[in-house]
Structure formats: C-alpha cells, structure tokens
Structure 1
Amino acid sequence: MRREYMTAIGPVDILCRDGGGGSVAVEIKRRGEIDGVEQAHALPRA
C-alpha cells in the first residue's frame, strides 16, 4: 500500500494488506537491537 506510513508511534517502513484485507506493518532494521524490538511491540495489533 505505502512506504513510510505514519502511525501514532512514528512511521513504519512498509504498510501492506494481507490476503484477508488486514493491515501488515513491515519494519526493516539493519541490526537486531532492542530499539527495533520495542518499536515492533508498540505497533497496534489486530
């Protein structure tokens, strides 16, 4: 759907739709560090 989609907690790298029409946020990181994990856990869940 879109790149750099702004959410209430900041932008996500890619926003997609799955086969059922649900939203899927994709966050790409160069290194797997705690900041990326915390950001992923803060995203809203369906």
Structure 2
Amino acid sequence: MPECDHCGAHVSDQFARVFADERGHIRACPNCSANAGIAEVSRERAQKV
C-alpha cells in the first residue's frame, strides 16, 4: 500500500494515482496537510528537495 513520503501515513491506491508525482512520490496527504491544499503543499515540498 502506498504511503506519504512526508509523514509515512498509508494512503489509498486511488489517492496515489491522483497525487503522486511522476516518480511515485507522495509529498502530502490528508494526515499532514489540509484537504483543500494537498496539491499546493505537494508542489511546495517538492521544490524544497
């Protein structure tokens, strides 16, 4: 089962298909960011790496 690279929480396969980047990294999930801002937080965290 996929998990968030930021907090380690498990996420669904469907969530991973939508929010993972092209390498399969999931940088934000409902457990570590607000639902409305997951895409934005993912982009911000990806830029810091």
Same fold (TM over 0.5): no
Structure number having the greater helix percentage: 2
Larger proportion of strand:
1
**Could you say which structure has the larger radius of gyration?**
1
TM class by shorter chain equals under 0.3
